A and B are shown apart, each in its own frame.
Chain A
Amino acid sequence: MSKISAPRSNREFIEACVKAGDAVRIKQEVDWENEAGAIVRRACELGAAAPFMEKIKDYPGFSYFGAPLSTYRRMAISLGMDPASTLPEIGKEYLARTNGEPIAPVTIDRKDAPCKENILLGADVDLCKLPVPLVHDGDGGRYVGTWHAVVTKHPVRGDVNWGMYRQMMFDGRTMSGAVFPFSDLGKQLSEYYLPRGLSCPFATAIGLSPLAAMAACAPSPIPEPELVGMLSGEPARLVKCETNDLEVPADAEIIIEGEICPDYKVEEGPFGEYTGYRTSPRDFRVTFRVNCITYRNNATMTISNMGVPQDEGQLLRSFSLGLELEKLLRSQGIPVTGVYMHPRSTHHMMIVGVKPAYTGIAQQIAQLAFGSKLGPWFHMVMVVDDQTDIYNWDEVYHAFCTRCHPENGIHIYRNTTGTPLYPFATPHERKYSIGSKVLFDCLWPVDWDKTNDVPTLVSFKNVYPKDIQERVLANWTTYGYPEVK
């Protein structure tokens, strides 16, 4: 593999984005209450440059970086690629890097770790000292964690997890968050800590390198510290926490250390979510007690503002969920051409292209997809053939509307795992994470006669002889049409 030169920290990333015209420096003072959130939201809805807000009301010395990865250009920059790279190119690069050998992180000395430049302990610990934004008006609170990683470790197996699970400031020493039962942290808590009544040490890292953030929200089975190494082509640099045994990215902007309480819950939410709604209501959720805060000089807090498309919740999760499913299907020998989730589906629909090699291949794909670790996050799988361009919604939609038989092509799976965030789910289903799923099989049945039963696709590319196609293309402008790019 050629040497990767990806931004190694949030700061290097901001620099690279500014240079490419993909971030703007905002010099005038911005209010942490709604104004910063509204800027980020508008930037997301316009697909605009990421706002780097250098002056925050009440919080001299702190800054915000919003919408860090809400465009494919910024995703390309984060991977050290040409910003103009296409989505299939970015996808290919992700697959190439994450199919290699895991790269273990290294631990560095705390005196070399920028995140230790300021340390708050004991009575000094107060989340109100950080510029925690009110991201959307009407949210249940100010959110500390919107683009971050919650670091934990399984006390017996020792595996480390970095996950992006939203965290609300309840008071100066308490946060609450939505940790779904099927997430890695949710499973750690229900399997180990809760039954024993033990508190679970955690560390929240904010202002990560973009690839560390990408790893924290990727549904990969590879432990995230190693995944970052693979994505960036070099070991992640970690440093020991002040008050527990966990290790955190040394160049993160802000670290919040503490413990998850097994026996104490405070309210969390509502919050603007990736589906484009506030769906999960206020409720008592997982509660984090804060024991220590460390941060860099001139720390930058990262903000993701989830809502209608498109933000990093949709863009990045669609990207990694699709590619992780592609890996899974290939590992089972299924002849897929690719897997794509359109960000506008708010990662609810998997579009899978496959060579229709045998009967039931679409159902096999759907069962693997829904049955995998990825399954709770989407409820629709659409399978099209290998002639259909999965990235071209016009082609996929045409295939769906013409080839999916209303009785034989639609398969419903009941009583599966859902999330409390599905806007269409009943309140009861949301409360218990009950899901249901649907497969849209848009393949011609294998037992149809290819010549006499399967309709012929009537398109320029499919029905005209090659020489006619070439002649028409060559003469297109002489006919009087403008050139087609």
Chain B
Amino acid sequence: MNQWEVFVMDMAELAEGKDIEISIRTLNPGVQKYTYKHVRAQVSSSLDKFPDKLQVRMGRGQLSAAKFSIKVIEEIRRLPPQYS
């Protein structure tokens, strides 16, 4: 089980029942903690629906009480090839 966190300005950004594209950061312990990935994923407010956990912060860092489960479908590389 992995733990992730997402920042949103509006809870509507976490639409359920379809694929969404979001930047999430890992909360797993270790030196990578708080680094981001841009992913395609599905989220659900029912906590046992998907394998990983997702917690939510609002745009200025306030921790939301809402909790989600998340399935990361794939990492999306948006970086233009000249920088790789």
CB-CB under 8 A from B34, the residues of chain A are 134, 141-142, 169
Do B60 and A261 touch (CB < 8 A)?
Answer: no
Q: Which residues of chain A have a CB within 8 Å of any CB of chain B?
A: 33, 58-59, 128-129, 134, 136-142, 169-172, 174, 199, 259, 261, 263-264, 266-267, 270, 278-279, 281-282, 289
Cα distance, A136 to B30, chains bound together (Å): 18
Cα distance, A267 to B9, chains bound together (Å): 12
CB-CB under 8 A from A279, the residues of chain B are 60
Do A172 and B35 touch (CB < 8 A)?
Answer: yes
CB distance from B72 to the nearest CB of A (A): 15
Do B83 and A266 touch (CB < 8 A)?
Answer: no
Among all A-B residue pairs, the 7 with the closest Cβ atoms: A138-B61, A281-B59, A278-B60, A282-B7, A128-B31, A171-B35, A289-B83
**What are 12 inter-chain pairs, A to B, with CB distance below 8 A?**
A128-B31, A129-B31, A138-B61, A141-B35, A141-B36, A170-B36, A264-B78, A267-B36, A270-B7, A278-B60, A281-B59, A289-B79
Do A33 and B33 touch (CB < 8 A)?
Answer: yes
Do B36 and A266 touch (CB < 8 A)?
Answer: yes
CB distance from B25 to the nearest CB of A (A): 7
A-contact bits for B32-74, CB 8 A (1 contact / 0 none): 1111111000000000000000000101111100000000000
Do B7 and A140 touch (CB < 8 A)?
Answer: yes
Do A267 and B23 touch (CB < 8 A)?
Answer: yes
Do A139 and B61 touch (CB < 8 A)?
Answer: yes
CB-CB under 8 A from B17, the residues of chain A are none
Contact A282-B31, Cβ < 8 Å, known A171-B37, A261-B83: no
Contact A128-B60, Cβ < 8 Å, known A259-B83, A261-B83, A281-B9: no
Do A140 and B35 touch (CB < 8 A)?
Answer: no
Do B7 and A128 touch (CB < 8 A)?
Answer: no
Task: Closest A residue to B78 by CB, please name it.
Answer: A264
CB distance from A192 to the nearest CB of B (A): 18
Do B36 and A282 touch (CB < 8 A)?
Answer: no
Cα distance, A139 to B5, chains bound together (Å): 12
Cα distance, A138 to B61, chains bound together (Å): 4
Cα distance, A262 to B31, chains bound together (Å): 29
CB-CB under 8 A from B57, the residues of chain A are 138
Do B61 and A270 touch (CB < 8 A)?
Answer: yes
Do A128 and B35 touch (CB < 8 A)?
Answer: yes
Which of B23, B31, B59, B78 has the most chain A CB atoms closer than 10 A to its own CB?
B31
Task: Closest B residue to A291 by CB, please name it.
Answer: B83
Task: Closest B residue to A265 by CB, please name it.
Answer: B78
CB-CB under 8 A from A172, the residues of chain B are 32, 35
Question: How many residues on chain B are close to A (CB under 8 Å)?
Answer: 24
Do B62 and A170 touch (CB < 8 A)?
Answer: no
Task: Closest A residue to B35 by CB, please name it.
Answer: A171
Cα distance, A259 to B63, chains bound together (Å): 33
CB-CB under 8 A from A141, the residues of chain B are 25, 34-36
CB-CB under 8 A from A263, the residues of chain B are 80
CB distance from B64 to the nearest CB of A (A): 11
Cα distance, A126 to B32, chains bound together (Å): 10
Do B9 and A282 touch (CB < 8 A)?
Answer: yes
Do A278 and B80 touch (CB < 8 A)?
Answer: no
Contact partner of A264 among B23, B25, B30, B83, CB < 8 A? B83
Cα distance, A256 to B34, chains bound together (Å): 19
Further pairs besides A128-B31, A137-B61, A171-B37: 13, Cβ < 8 Å: A58-B31, A138-B60, A139-B61, A142-B34, A170-B35, A171-B35, A171-B36, A174-B79, A264-B79, A264-B80, A266-B36, A267-B7, A282-B9
Do B83 and A270 touch (CB < 8 A)?
Answer: no
Task: Closest B residue to A258 by CB, please name it.
Answer: B83
CB-CB under 8 A from A170, the residues of chain B are 35-36
Cα distance, A225 to B9, chains bound together (Å): 40
CB-CB under 8 A from B30, the residues of chain A are 58
CB distance from B54 to the nearest CB of A (A): 16
Cα distance, A139 to B63, chains bound together (Å): 11
CB-CB under 8 A from A59, the residues of chain B are 31
Cα distance, A199 to B57, chains bound together (Å): 32
CB distance from A259 to the nearest CB of B (A): 7
Do A270 and B59 touch (CB < 8 A)?
Answer: yes
Contact partner of A128 among B25, B32, B83, CB < 8 A? B32
Do A282 and B83 touch (CB < 8 A)?
Answer: no
Cα distance, A172 to B79, chains bound together (Å): 14
Cα distance, A137 to B33, chains bound together (Å): 13
Do A281 and B60 touch (CB < 8 A)?
Answer: yes
Task: Closest B residue to A271 by CB, please name it.
Answer: B61
Do A278 and B61 touch (CB < 8 A)?
Answer: yes
